[in-house]
Structure 1
Amino acid sequence: MTNPPVSHKPKHGIKRKKNLAKLKTRQKAKAIEKIEKKNDAVTFEVVFVGRSNVGKSTLLKNLTGRNVRTGKRPGVTLKPTHLYFDDFLITDMPGFGFMSGVTKEKSDDVKDNIVHYIEEHADRIMIAVQVIDGPAFVEITERWDSRDEIPIDLELHDFLEEMEIITIIAANKMDRVKDDEKDDLLNDVVGIFGYDRGEGTWKESGALVAPVSARGGDIRPLISHLKNEFHKMKRDDLFKHFK
């Protein structure tokens, strides 16, 4: 009985896979090194924070002209998204609160990661833009109050103040509010956040409030507040990064 023929097939496939694995490892290392260099150069950061599905990513896209990951499903953004401009960094933080298809444990982890990120980079985070759903904000707050719980939005706002980070409240989706109802709504918003407006309206409260409509493209109040704060910090050079 003869022995079966010995296969002399070249092992090119295995070698090719090993080479591809090495290439991917090198590419990953270079990408990490590149990000680290960018991070080392950052001296001024603006973070965008808020509940899931309030329109942070869409607002950022309109503000900078840069493509930012967006989605209709709450919780699409689970990790910080960074936009680098030399020594200036804009960060879109993950949305907190309800996230479709995400467990409560994961949702809590996301919230904790937001806090840890801000604590870790507090020395370079000069401004936070806290985006809220203008039309729904009062109702959401009342729902939390009815359960004798402090709304996450207020916890976050207080935390940013404790960290001494200038906070702009961007009340988004204001195109859904009737013109003659906007002032009353914004009066309620600043009251919920604890600002005293005295005998005046929300404009006299001292709060940095920007009523905007990301989808409608009306973000001028936010740009105005940002530029004003940049000017106070002698960073007029940052104006060029906004549309």
Structure 2
Amino acid sequence: MFEDRPDRQEVVLVGRSNVGKSTLMRELTGHSKFTTGKKPGVTRQPNHFDWAGDDFMFTDLPGFGFMSGVEEDRREEIKTAIVRYIESNADDILAGVLVVDGKSVVDIIDRHSGPDEIPHDVEMFHFLRELGIPVVVAVNKMDKVDDRDERLDDLCDRLGLMPPWKQWSDIVAPISAKRGNLDALEEALRTHFHEQKRDDLLKFVS
């Protein structure tokens, strides 16, 4: 379903529709071509943003999960295509950034947790880790969250990480993309680039 991928190493952004992935991508890259909007599901194909000569790109993958006005079969197709893309390119993915809405993610996870159901966010987190891809959970819209530490501790708990959240600074990154506050995410990506001997990419997250 997703074709014409440039042959480069990459950081992929994944997450539910409307959590602010495209806004985050715009802030990370300083590039304004990414379509953002109130309507979920605006991004239907991977958006690659690459730099000539650096063998590297950021990729914004389509949103998964519920999308208003999109039939369930189509939603499943999109999710399957995302999974296949990540599996096929795992060796070239330096990090997976799972973008979640800080205000609602814990409630959404709890609503979809049951005997026969794993919430998409939790499933994607463990899927990336099982493939050996370093994961950073970019907890977006934190400017709208009052009980910050409690909310982040609860999220860690749902992801199977022992709270407090502050011990997971290379995994949990509270941000506010709309306000340009990406410090925690950039710090986490710097750690993962360094560990993979790609210090030449640090300029993209400084």
Per the alignment, residue 154 of structure 2 pairs with 188
* Match runs of 1:83-162 below 5 Å: 83-86=49-52, 87-145=55-113, 149-162=117-130
1:91, 1:162 → 2: CA distance?
Answer: 20
For the pair shown, the structure with the greater C-alpha radius of gyration is 1
SS in 1 for 2:177: coil
The partner residue of 1:66 within 26, 31, 36 is: 31
User: 1:199-243 CA deviation, whole Å, 9 max, x = no partner?
Assistant: xx2112576110000112111111111112112222122122346
1:227, 1:89 → 2: CA distance?
Answer: 15
2:98, 2:114 → 1: CA distance?
Answer: 23
Answer whether contact 1:75 1:98 (CA < 8 A) is retained: no
Per the alignment, residue 166 of structure 1 pairs with 134
Letter in 1 for 2:192: E
SS in 1 for 2:103: helix
Gaps of 5+ in 1: 1-31
2:81, 2:198 → 1: CA distance?
Answer: 29
Cα distance change, pair 128–118 in 1 and its aligned pair in 2 (3 A): same
Per the alignment, residue 204 of structure 2 pairs with 241
The partner residue of 1:46 within 1, 4, 11 is: 11
Provide TM-score, normalisation by structure 1. Answer: 0.78
Cα deviation for residue 69 of structure 1 reads 1.8
2:11, 2:169 → 1: CA distance?
Answer: 20
Residue 202 in structure 1 maps to residue 202 in structure 2: no
Letter in 2 for 1:74: P
1:74, 1:175 → 2: CA distance?
Answer: 21
Answer whether contact 2:169 2:184 (CA < 8 A) is retained: no
2:40, 2:63 → 1: CA distance?
Answer: 8
SS in 1 for 2:84: helix
Per the alignment, residue 218 of structure 1 pairs with 181
Letter in 2 for 1:126: L
1:208, 1:220 → 2: CA distance?
Answer: 13
1:77, 1:99 → 2: CA distance?
Answer: 11
User: 1:85-124 CA deviation, whole Å, 9 max, x = no partner?
Assistant: 2310111000001112211111100000000101111110
Of the structure 1 ranges 224-233 and 141-150, higher mean CA displacement relative to structure 2 is found in 141-150
Letter in 2 for 1:170: A
Letter in 2 for 1:81: N
Cα distance change, pair 104–84 in 1 and its aligned pair in 2 (3 A): same
Residue 232 in structure 1 maps to residue 200 in structure 2: no
1:196, 1:147 → 2: CA distance?
Answer: 22
Gaps of 5+ in 2: none
SS in 1 for 2:201: helix
Residue 77 in structure 1 maps to residue 43 in structure 2: yes
CA-atom RMSD, angstroms?
Answer: 1.8
